[in-house]
Amino acid sequence: MTYGDCIRASITALKANLLRSILTSLGIIIGISSVIAMVAIGAGAESRVKESIESLGSNIMIVLNGSRTTGGARGGTGSNITLTEEDAAALQRDVASVEVAAPSVQGRFQLVFGNTNWSTNIHGITEEYMTARNWQVDQGRGFNDTEYRSAGKVALIGATVAEKLFPGEDPIGKVIRINKVPVQVVGVLAAKGQTPFGQDQDDTSFIPITTAKKRVLGGRWVKSNLVSQITVKVRDAQDVAEAEREVTTLLRQRHRIPEGGQDDFNIRNISQFLAARAESTRVMGILLASVAAISLVVGGIGIMNIMLVSVTERTREIGLRMALGARRRDILTQFVVEAITLSLLGGLIGVALGIGGSHLIAKTGDWPVLIEPQAIMMAVGFSAAVGVFFGFYPARKASKLDPIDALRYE
Amino acid sequence: MPAPLIVTENLSKTYHIGGGDVRALVDLSIAIPNGEMIAIMGPSGSGKSTCMNLLGCLDSPSGGSYRLDGQDVAQLDSDALASIRNEKIGFVFQQFNLLARATALDNVELPLTYGRVPRRLRHDKAARALEAVGLGERMDHRPSQLSGGQMQRVAIARAIVNSPQVLMADEPTGALDSRTGAEIMALFQRLNGEGITVIVVTHDEHVAAHAKRILRFRDGRLVSDEPVAAPIRAADAVAAMAVPEAA
Ligand SMILES: Nc1ncnc2c1ncn2[C@@H]1O[C@H](COP(=O)(O)OP(=O)(O)O)[C@@H](O)[C@H]1O
Ligand SMILES: [Mg+2]
């Protein structure tokens, strides 16, 4: 009996019990379709996250102030301010892989315009910051050298701030108050949207670092060269790890930290977030695989069950086939092929439903889905494997029947 | 003189059930030459089916030897027995044993699928076998669309499609009325006339009287082995029965 004969015989047998065949495949159908849909959704989410992480800049590193340890109690990050503008200058000058190192200060303040107000993060920046974070000015202009150097009373506001403070109005040229200090809005920043972690990047405003220290933050900042953070842009994203080591070495040297002493600064980069993403993707993958495995095993047991029933029901047919010259191998093949047909049928219906479901989710939920051909091939391959694995025992049972007993079976 | 098709020596079959043994066939020693038409007779439980199953290589003996066409069957494994059944023997059963879901043609093709006959050739051979049993017009019918006699004809077509040397039929007319039974016996006689050895198991004296030789069993033993002086010619009986109906 050729495989073609086996497949034809299987289809005839499955069609004879169509409803039962479909019900039997249900386990596989549900398993495969949910896995296909979940993988598609996961892959879609992954691609969206990757996109937005890359928009943040994968070659960006942020150096933050470290924590102070007082009598064993450690303060939070930034409680011990040691980073200086000279550190930033040194990083840019002495570390070859660093393109720019931008010092900045920051604080949260209320902005007031007329009788509207809005609290946001104010960054005191230098020109390098604009380069490092790739900020563009959408309307108006950026700060000029004089404003940077001599504490000009000017501000660049983010798109969200513009929307909140100046609904339906042109913000350019308007005077707002930051912590009671009047500054003129000279430009609106081009919108960047959300970070992968859900923060609105456009809810921000910039003023020159000199202005921030002298006029807004005041107090100890006025005459100091300290900064809140240094944003470092590495020339090539591949050199981030190497640059991080060099930056660490240089800063430890400059801060005179003895060997074995703790850093008084923290370095954050996007690749750490990427690593965290990779980890959560891995966990998601394991979860999906276990869902798939469980549903395939359950589906497989369903198939095994129905194949055992089928072998019993068709005992006389098996006996007849043996009497007509079927070898044990022919019977084995016939029933294994039948089980594979059943599970493949389930797999294919499952793939179709999974793709349909994914598209439905994509449409209704405005959620990106990505159907990968490998996922489909895996699904089909696994459902066939389930057929072989769970069909083998019933088929073997059929092939071991004694021809005469089978023929006489009532 | 060529060696007989079937030679058995002390062929025996004992079933072990519960406490005791059932000696279904005891020391059967016979020789059946090619071209013979044999009836196996006996009351129910006398071992007729057991004998036929052994001769048909469906069952293995508990003792004795059996040579089919010069080959010692006891030496063969299940694959070799399967190919002997496929190539040398054609079976006809009391209950027809057709596949309900398959057409007459597909049913007749079944032995050919196990004999590695190419698909095109199978169709031709199966169609010819169906024509030979007078069912050329019914090839696409399913068993449920056929009468009992027609179903048995399909079964006979299936038995002869692979040109076997011997046709073995266990109570082939048992489920049929006497007229249809006569038609089936006429078909067997015609096939026997064409050279196929025919062995028919029956408990019906009238059916047995169509054979050239009758073996009688009782309690698993062969009690008589006699030629039939003048076998009934089934074709005549069929013709005789057809007349009143036509009138
Ligand atoms: N599979 C079996 N197991 C046990 N006993 C059996 C089996 N097959 C047949 N027999 C016994 O063997 C004897 C002969 O049976 P069988 O050849 O079927 O008789 P017949 O066909 O002449 O009616 C009977 O007594 C029957 O009960
Ligand atoms: Mg019997």
pLDDT top residue among A293 and A54: A293
Ligand 2: distance of its center to the CA of B203 in Å?
9
pLDDT digits (tens, 9 = 90+) for A309-362: 999 999 999 999 999 999 999 999 999 999 999 999 999 999 999 999 888 888
Instruction: Please name which of B71, B75, B45, B46 lies closest in space to residue B60, comparing C-alpha atoms.
Output: B75
pLDDT digits (tens, 9 = 90+) for B121-130: 999 999 999 9
What is the band of A196 on the pLDDT scale with cuts at 50, 70, 90? low
Q: Where are the domains of chain A?
A: 3-52+276-408, 102-232
What is the band of A181 on the pLDDT scale with cuts at 50, 70, 90? very high
Mutate to test the pocket of ligand 1, among B12, B14, B17, B22 (most ligand atoms within 8 A of CB): B22
Please compute the mean of the pLDDT values over residues A383-407 and round it to a whole number: 94
Question: Which runs of consecutive H residues, i.e. helices, occur in B161-233?
Answer: 178-193, 205-208
Q: Which atom of ligand 1 is nearest to the CA of B50?
A: 17
Residues of A in contact with B91 (CB under 8 A): 323-324
- The DSSP call for residue B176 is S
Sign of CA dihedral A276, A278, A279, A281: positive
Say if strands A116-125 and A98-113 run parallel, antiparallel, or are unpaired: antiparallel
Report the residue from A2, A316, A327 with minimal CB separation from B82.
Answer: A327
Report the residue from B82, B93, B101 with minimal CB separation from A325.
Answer: B82
Ligand 1: distance of its center to the CA of A139 in Å?
102
The gap from C-alpha A207 to its chain's centroid, in whole angstroms, comes to 33
% of chain A at pLDDT higher than 70 = 93
- CATH code of B6-242, in short, is 3.40.50.300
B6: β partners? B32, B68
Query: A89-93, A170-174, A206-210, A363-367: which has the minimum mean pLDDT?
Result: A363-367
- B101 with A16: Cβ contact below 8 A: yes
Q: Is A208 helix (H, G, I), strand (E, B) or coil?
A: strand
Residues of B in contact with A403 (CB under 8 A): 58-59
Cβ-contact A333, A6 below 8 angstroms: yes
What is the band of A375 on the pLDDT scale with cuts at 50, 70, 90? confident
Can you give the length of chain B in residues?
A: 247
Give the DSSP H/E element, type plus range, for residue B216: strand B213-218
Return d(Cα A99, Cα A50) in angstroms, integer.
Answer: 24
Q: What is the pLDDT of residue B245?
A: 46
Q: Is A385 helix (H, G, I), strand (E, B) or coil?
A: helix
Q: Which atom of ligand 1 is nearest to the CA of B44?
A: 23
- The DSSP call for residue B3 is P
pLDDT top residue among A218 and A297: A297
% of chain A at pLDDT higher than 90 = 53
Mean pLDDT of chain A: 87
Return d(Cα A360, Cα A340) in angstroms, integer.
Answer: 29
Q: Is the pTM of this model over 0.80?
A: no
Tokens of A387: 């057929």
Return d(Cα B7, Cα B28) in angstroms, integer.
Answer: 10
Q: What is the pLDDT of residue A360?
A: 87
Query: A284-288, A294-298, B141-145, B159-163: which has the minimum mean pLDDT?
Result: A284-288
Q: Whose CA is nearest to atom 26 of ligand 1?
A: B45
Report which listed range, A211-220, B16-25, B142-151, is most confident.
B142-151
| Phi-psi domain of B33 (left: phi exceeds 0; alpha: psi -120 through 50; beta: other) | beta
pLDDT at A239 over 70: yes
- The DSSP call for residue B47 is S
pLDDT digits (tens, 9 = 90+) for A72-97: 555 566 667 889 999 999 999 999 99
Report which listed range, A89-98, A232-241, A266-275, is most confident.
A89-98
Q: What is the pLDDT of residue A80?
A: 79
Q: Is the CB of B22 under 6 A from ligand 1?
A: yes
